[in-house]
């Protein structure tokens, strides 16, 4: 009984002490825990848009768009194109996007033909008038079309070089589609190749770069980088300069190798995520290397774009945003579609953001219980007719003013775009998700 009374007394004293010394209340605005976690001042700060002159090259009526425009020799800085192009023709090229397959191979133009590959791995040659000249299935004998996806095309000197998710690179006669040689790589080859100086450069898997002799298909050399299992489908196209080839790998690693022998000149990493507002933490290089002058521009999926010195690999600047595809560069500016679905212009010398404009983000929700359904895809940009052109899966081909980012036009794309646009002979070509090659003049 006595112990109980003592305990009760102690409790009473404690309560009295608490009443005599009230807890101090700190002054200032209160924030919820989630709001604090979403706040990331350095990366989330939005620069004010501004208009600055752009060094846009004079328009060129180029006959070819033979390879991915990541290398200076393969890029037309400002292809001639009408300011109001209209749909000239649409031709069925085969299988479009499906639940198990994706049509994601950009067209190329060379030797008076447009070359495309559908989601079923069938390559077609199309004339400028919209006629199918030939078709060539690229599926190995013991495989099925839905067992792989992706690949790429490059045209050079009368030959079409084809990579595929089946782990092969094949040289075809561009006039007839006849197979000249095939090289097995032992891993997927889901990115487009680059061809220069008698060598075909490509990346297989997410960690191996190849140099293959264009005439014979023999392996000249290979180089291994670091891989990562958490990657985006599709390998970056190697970028080629006068003496170097730049590979990028799934780990975010970048290698500069001498073209002929494969000796490493320098290596670097593109790492980091946008703090507080990162949409993904995938380290894969999605903004594949692009050579412009003495610089190389590379971006990853998680929130970083980096400018490197081409000769030394010195990091010149880092922008805290991601790139969903290769950038488009002029002498003073870098244009890209960011991981936040924005068309962005950066200063090529400092990485400073000049302007950013919103692109459509997400498809309208179909089920009330789901916050989001699926995201729109935006392909590009490229420079044509003095404008930045972006082809989008929402069914529009948009052009923007490179000076201030203003929307100048929006032209319907039946079925929505599933590849980047290319321009040759004053005609813009793009492939739709329904498996059609569309031509605009």
Residue 298: count of CB within 10 angstroms of its CB? 27
Give pLDDT, residue 21: 63
Give pLDDT, residue 1: 45
Give pLDDT, residue 205: 78
d(CA 231, CA 228): 6
> What are the structure tokens assigned to 404, written together?
């201030």
Give pLDDT, residue 103: 85
d(CA 103, CA 379): 13
Whether residue 190 contacts residue 233, with contact meaning beta carbons closer than 8 Å, is answered with: yes
Whether residue 353 contacts residue 346, with contact meaning beta carbons closer than 8 Å, is answered with: yes
Whether residue 249 contacts residue 227, with contact meaning beta carbons closer than 8 Å, is answered with: yes
Give pLDDT, residue 40: 46
Give pLDDT, residue 250: 82
Give pLDDT, residue 305: 95
**What distance lies between CA 92 and its chain's CA centroid?**
25
Instruction: Please report, in tens digits, the pLDDT of each residue of the chain (441 residues total).
Output: 444 444 444 444 444 444 556 667 766 666 555 444 444 444 555 678 998 999 999 999 999 999 999 999 999 999 999 999 999 999 999 998 887 778 889 999 999 999 999 999 999 999 999 999 999 999 988 888 778 788 999 999 999 999 998 989 999 999 999 999 999 998 888 889 999 999 999 998 778 899 999 999 999 999 987 766 666 666 899 999 999 999 998 888 999 999 999 999 999 998 877 665 555 667 778 889 999 999 999 999 888 999 999 999 999 999 999 998 999 999 999 999 998 899 999 999 999 999 999 999 877 666 655 555 678 999 999 999 999 999 999 999 999 999 999 999 999 999 999 999 999 999 999 999 999 999 999
Give pLDDT, residue 10: 45
Q: Which CATH superfamily is domain 53-440 in?
A: YVTN repeat-like/Quinoprotein amine dehydrogenase (2.130.10.10)
Give pLDDT, residue 276: 58
d(CA 438, CA 180): 29
**pTM (2 d.p.):** 0.86
In the DSSP assignment, the letter for residue 72 is G
Give pLDDT, residue 39: 46
Whether residue 130 contacts residue 154, with contact meaning beta carbons closer than 8 Å, is answered with: no
What is the Cα Rg of the chain in Å? 26
């Amino acid at each position: 009984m006595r112990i109980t009374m003592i305990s009760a007394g102690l409790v009473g004293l404690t309560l009295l002490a608490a009443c005599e010394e009230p807890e101090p209340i700190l002054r200032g605005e209160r924030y919820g825990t989630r709001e604090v976690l979403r706040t990331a001042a350095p990366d989330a700060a939005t620069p004010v848009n501004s208009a600055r002159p752009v060094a846009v090259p004079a328009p060129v009526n180029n006959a070819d768009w033979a390879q991915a425009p990541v290398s200076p020799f393969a890029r037309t800085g400002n292809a001639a194109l009408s300011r109001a192009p209209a749909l000239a023709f649409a031709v069925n090229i085969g299988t479009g996007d499906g639940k198990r397959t994706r049509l994601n191979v950009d067209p190329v133009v060379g030797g008076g033909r447009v070359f495309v590959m559908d989601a079923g791995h069938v390559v077609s040659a199309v004339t400028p008038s919209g006629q199918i000249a030939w078709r060539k299935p690229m599926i190995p004998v013991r495989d099925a079309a839905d067992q792989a996806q992706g690949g790429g095309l490059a045209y050079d000197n009368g030959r079409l070089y084809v990579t595929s998710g089946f782990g092969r690179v094949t040289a075809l006669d561009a006039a007839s589609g006849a197979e000249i040689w095939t090289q097995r790589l032992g891993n997927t080859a889901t990115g487009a190749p680059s061809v220069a100086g008698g060598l075909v450069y490509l990346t297989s898997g997410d960690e191996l770069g190849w140099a293959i002799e264009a005439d014979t298909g023999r392996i000249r050399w290979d180089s291994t980088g670091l891989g990562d299992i958490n990657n985006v489908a599709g390998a970056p196209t190697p970028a080629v300069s006068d003496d170097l080839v730049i590979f990028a790998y799934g780990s975010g690693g970048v290698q500069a190798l001498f073209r002929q022998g494969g000796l490493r000149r320098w290596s670097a990493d593109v790492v980091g995520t946008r703090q507080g507002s990162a949409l993904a933490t995938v380290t894969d290089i999605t903004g594949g290397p692009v050579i412009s002058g003495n610089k190389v521009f590379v971006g990853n999926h998680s929130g970083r774009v980096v400018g490197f010195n081409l000769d030394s690999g010195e990091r010149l600047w880092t922008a805290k945003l991601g790139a969903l595809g290769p950038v488009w560069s002029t002498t003073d500016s870098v244009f890209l579609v960011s991981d936040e679905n924005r068309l962005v212009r950066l200063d090529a010398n400092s990485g400073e953001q000049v302007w950013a404009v919103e692109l459509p983000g997400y498809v309208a929700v179909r089920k009330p219980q789901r916050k989001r359904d699926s995201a729109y895809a935006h392909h590009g940009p490229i420079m044509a007719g003095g404008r930045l052109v972006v082809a989008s899966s929402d069914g529009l081909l948009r052009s923007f003013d490179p000076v201030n980012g203003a929307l100048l036009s929006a032209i319907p794309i039946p079925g929505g775009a599933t590849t980047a646009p290319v321009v040759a002979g004053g005609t813009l070509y793009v492939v739709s998700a329904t498996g059609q090659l569309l031509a605009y003049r």
